[in-house]
Amino acid sequence: MEQVDASTVLCLLMNTPALESLDIISSELIVPLDCTSPVTLPCLKSVHISHLTSAEVHYLMAALDVPALALLDLPTVFMGGATLLALPLLPHALATHRMRRLAFNVDRDFGSVDIALHGPGVSLSMHLHAYDAQKAERVQWALTAFPTTLPLSGVEELHIQASQRDASEDLLLRLAVYMPEVSTLLIRHDPRDDYGDDYENVEGHVALARMVARVLTSDSPVLFPRLAHLELIVSSTTLALCRLLARALAHRDESGRRLRKFCIRLDDEYLFHWKLMWEGKRKPNYKETGIFDHVDVCEVPDEFEDSSGGDEQRLEWGRWRDCVQRTTHEYWRE
């Protein structure tokens, strides 16, 4: 759709009380200045909206009463300088739902953000793209305004993709304040965001370790007080990385918040490089770093085999086996 008044869309929806699936793909909706009357769609379970601005999505979502909604997919939402505000993009039914899992990925310039949220019988995914806004504005929005628009208080499992050159360290610390129930934290480090394709870079991994250490050693306030399982996905692992993490794990243990399980896993994309790097060489002795001493279970990739196992429910970044699937109909298929 192009140049369609958003109120017209809502008027059409008022006549479809049995609607179960809604797909909107538009290059532009005209958002009226006045508020519209709520539109109740008691049977609507799946919503897919793409190529709209955050203001347009907000207008539609605020006007819909969708008590049965189980899936909201926003693959492309644009946020300009004027709309880079704390506009909630979720209808009330999802904004108040208890979400258990969050996968969060932000690029180093905060130009785009990917979010996947999942709870019992409910799934939400969105890709937000910022334009016509200075980096300082985008960073400020991500750190302060955006977390307040998501139902984060019940999240128990957090996945975040991090790199050194962005503000992901500050972002993780800020997000932690909103998620006191997190018991599982997974951090994926992509070295290409730091130093091109240098998967072996020691400096990048040391920066990652320092970020994790800040989380583990924070006492005022205590971040992730229920944290029991910490997993890092990296391109390679070093003794320097393990030494820094060992000190942070010791602090967590000594303060009475000992982790049950800590894992360092190799990213599948870099597993072949890892094997080549250590082929015919003596493996590093990670035990001497003390990283095994302050957790119940510790796994470090010291063998030439794939150590990327773990959660059998996890399909890929931001997707699990129990996610709600998008509703499709035969007439959409060619």
Mean pLDDT of 281-295: 87
Q: What confidence score (pLDDT) does residue 128 get?
A: 87
Mean pLDDT of 41-70: 90
Mean pLDDT of 13-32: 83
Q: What confidence score (pLDDT) does residue 203 get?
A: 74
* Cα–Cα separations (whole angstroms), residue 224 to 10, 79, 96, 177, 238: 42, 30, 22, 8, 26
Token pair of 46 as six digits: 């799946």
Report the percentage of the chain scoring pLDDT > 70: 79
**How many other C-beta atoms lie within 10 A of the C-beta of residue 226?**
13
More confident residue, 301 or 24: 24
* Cα–Cα separations (whole angstroms), residue 183 to 123, 146, 158, 179, 246: 20, 22, 8, 10, 19
**How many other C-beta atoms lie within 10 A of the C-beta of residue 25?**
12
DSSP 219: B
Going by C-alpha positions, the residue among 117, 208, 105, 101 that lies closest to residue 158 is 101
Going by C-alpha positions, the residue among 37, 39, 47, 38 that lies closest to residue 17 is 39
Mean pLDDT of 142-170: 80
For residue range 195-227, list pLDDT tens digits in order: 445 555 567 778 888 889 999 999 989 999 999
Going by C-alpha positions, the residue among 75, 59, 83, 69 that lies closest to residue 5 is 59
Say if residue 14's pLDDT is above 60: yes
Q: What confidence score (pLDDT) does residue 223 get?
A: 95
For residue range 113-140, list pLDDT tens digits in order: 899 999 999 999 999 888 777 777 888 7
Residue 43: pLDDT band (50, 70, 90) is very high
Q: What confidence score (pLDDT) does residue 329 get?
A: 60
The average confidence (pLDDT) of the chain is 82
Find the distance separating the first CA and the last CA of the chain, reported in whole Å: 21
The residue extents of the domains of the chain are 72-307
Residue 306: pLDDT band (50, 70, 90) is very low
Say if residue 334's pLDDT is above 50: no
Residue 304: pLDDT band (50, 70, 90) is very low
Mean pLDDT of 14-36: 79
> Under a CB-based contact definition with an 8 Å cutoff, are residues 43 and 68 in contact?
yes
Q: What confidence score (pLDDT) does residue 67 get?
A: 93
Q: Model's pTM, two decimal places?
A: 0.87
